[in-house]
Structure 1
Amino acid sequence: MVFEYLAYDLSRGEEEVSPQIVDRSLLRHVDNPFDLDAGEFQKLFRLTPDLTEDVVSQLDSHLRGSRITAISTEKQVLAALRFFATGCYQRPVGEQWGISMSQSSVSRSIHRVTAAINSSMFCAKVRFPMTQVERQAAKEIFASATSPFVGGTIGAIDCTHVSILAPKRHEEAYVNHHGYHSLNVQMICDPTLKILNVNAKFPGARHDSYIWSSSAVRMVMQRNFEIGNHNLFLIGDSGYPLEPWLMTPLTNQPEGTPKFL
């Protein structure tokens, strides 16, 4: 479930709300963020309180310190989630909701939580290809959607730009078409927004179609097609090439018709 929420978050792309707009006063007047209303909590951390507690539980063995002064797993996870949610400066993150974490402590927490997620959760939760049962379930959900995709659709693909500080080497390669430095991150999701694959290897100047052409998932889809499985494909926007295993929009189609989708 954690990765479904993250998928929804990234799917919003450049329409993301600016960190300056977030109502930080919600955090200034509570000692424990879990005391917040569930909706306010999710607005600030992007995950529900229950999902956040599940993450804390799963990461506790990786983050729990042995010293009595060690920062709790809960605080480390909350600090990291807040940073992931807004990208705001680390010092303001540490100064919120009375946890009094220094910038260096917030920075260490972000690195530790990220490493723990990658080592203990990511590979177990994010995987492609799906099993035959999962593929069939995905096909049925896509086919029964309000705007149905009949046939063998198992997932949707898109890229989103994740802003980064300008690197010292090959800085120009990270400037995207919006004019800021980023990684162009490719993500594939099933119809329930469960993340199936993430590719964060490419700088912002790389086009979506280039990333797809170098993707291991593309090779998997092509191999399935070549062995005779012609009823299995992804859907993508016009930034991707039309291929037997990747459907893209048809141009100049009448609005309201199936082909228009």
Structure 2
Amino acid sequence: MFNNVDLYFENSVVERTTAKLLRQRRFIRDHSNPMELSSVLFKENFPLSKDAFMYVLDSIKEKCPTNLSSSISPMLKLCCFLRFLAHGSYQQTVGNDFELGIAQPTVSLIFKEMLPILESTLCSVRIKTDITEEQKRTARRNFFTRSGIPNVVGCVDGTHVAIIAPCENKHLYVNRKGFYSINAMIACDEDMVIRRVDARYGGSSHDSFVWNNRALKTYLEQTYQKGDHNSVYLGDYGYPLHEYLWTPFRNALPGTVESNFNKKHAKARNVVERTIGVLKCRFRCILGERKLRYPPSKATVIVNVCCALHNICKQYNVNDPEEETFVDVVVPLEPVEGNFSGTAADHRRRQIANALS
């Protein structure tokens, strides 16, 4: 039998739970339009500005399914989805946020619905490798001003996104640091706009393997064969040297022309490292503080969507998060094997190194 203390405790719990539900329902009723929040509070809760948010909402709202409760508008669904991307919290935490007040099962349904919609609607439109001649000229000019290296239109690098152990082929996702991840390769221009992303491969994959199996290599190869010899990407030691992909000299001695080229190369390539830093700080679900608790295929889509939303933020001039808060999941790579000495790409690289000295 219950004594008076037990009854008091039970009633107190019921009262607190009821009060919480009433507060959540009252907020949804009175704040069904998150645009009523101040610009500062809006950006604190969601990683986009109001203008960028409305662009995304207008792009997807006609595609939002109606199988959820009609009280949950496309706007609140998008807010819920962005809240997860921005903070990387568990679904229950996202749902219990005062700004949303949505139960965890509903958050799960929203995420399942919104993820493929955002990928199919935004990724192919917002992430484009092909750029205009005017954009190429602007990129070459800016990279040359920054580093002195000519003909550079973009940079490429890889970053690891931590995930939980997958159910199948676990060995493909264990990286050299011993944790499970996917190796996401990011290519960007001088304005930190992402031009290509490939997050299909497990953490055990070397950057050179991902490069050799990605569309960016094919695109640059075809562009070069068509006669465009003045559009080059920069990559680090983990990539193979090509006429259209320049990497640093290996084992360069201090004070040599090769060492000087490597310093200029690193200065230019820093933009892709900063891009990855901003991307992960803006969408902390991929930062590594909390592993993505999804299978690799879904983690790939999450990375793709984050990159598309990042580009939207750049277009709408959304302030970048503080870069000093970024701690990347660094997995040191062995330099790619191969002897490039004497090749056409090496000859061109040496010409530039001599010109820079």
Query: Normalization by structure 2: what TM-score?
Result: 0.58
Q: CA deviation at 1:37?
A: 5.5
**Aligned partners of 2:102 and 2:109: how far apart in 1?**
10
What residue number does 2:156 align with?
157
**Larger helix percent:** 2
Aligned residues: 231
Residues 195-247 of structure 1: CA deviation (Å, up to 9, x unaligned): 21111210111111110111121122122223432211111222222222112
After TM superposition, list the pairs within 5 Å mapping 1:158-177 onto structure 2: 158-177=157-176
**Aligned partners of 1:237 and 1:33: how far apart in 2?**
43
Residue 283 of structure 2 is aligned to residue 260 of structure 1: no
What residue number does 1:124 align with?
125
| Alpha carbons 1:236, 1:246 under 8 Å: kept | yes
| Alpha carbons 2:65, 2:113 under 8 Å: kept | no
What residue number does 1:62 align with?
63
What residue number does 2:43 align with?
42
**Aligned partners of 2:248 and 2:175: how far apart in 1?**
24
List gaps (5 residues or longer) in structure 2. 1-23, 265-357
- Report the CA distance shift for 1:236/1:43 in structure 2 as closer, same or farther (over 3 A): farther
Residue 191 of structure 2 is aligned to residue 188 of structure 1: no
**Aligned partners of 1:106 and 1:67: how far apart in 2?**
11
| Alpha carbons 2:173, 2:204 under 8 Å: kept | yes
Over the residues paired in the alignment, what is the CA RMSD in angstroms? 2.8
Residue 203 of structure 2 is aligned to residue 204 of structure 1: yes
Amino acid in structure 2 at the alignment position of 1:161 = H
Q: CA deviation at 1:181?
A: 1.6
| Alpha carbons 1:187, 1:199 under 8 Å: kept | yes
Q: CA deviation at 1:121?
A: 1.6
| Alpha carbons 1:253, 1:260 under 8 Å: kept | no
Query: Normalization by structure 1: what TM-score?
Result: 0.77
After TM superposition, list the pairs within 5 Å mapping 1:1-261 onto structure 2: 34=35, 38-39=39-40, 41-63=42-64, 65=66, 69-144=70-145, 147-250=146-249, 251-254=252-255, 257=260, 259-261=262-264
- Report the CA distance shift for 1:108/1:244 in structure 2 as closer, same or farther (over 3 A): same
Amino acid in structure 1 at the alignment position of 2:58 = S
Residues 7-44 of structure 1: CA deviation (Å, up to 9, x unaligned): xxxxxxxxxxxxxxxxxxxxx9x967656554554354
Amino acid in structure 2 at the alignment position of 1:89 = Y
- Computing the radius of gyration from Cα coordinates, the structure with the larger value is 2
Q: Secondary structure at the match of 1:97?
A: coil
**Aligned partners of 2:119 and 2:67: how far apart in 1?**
22
Amino acid in structure 2 at the alignment position of 1:248 = T
- Report the CA distance shift for 1:44/1:234 in structure 2 as closer, same or farther (over 3 A): farther
Q: Secondary structure at the match of 2:166?
A: coil
| Alpha carbons 1:189, 1:196 under 8 Å: kept | yes
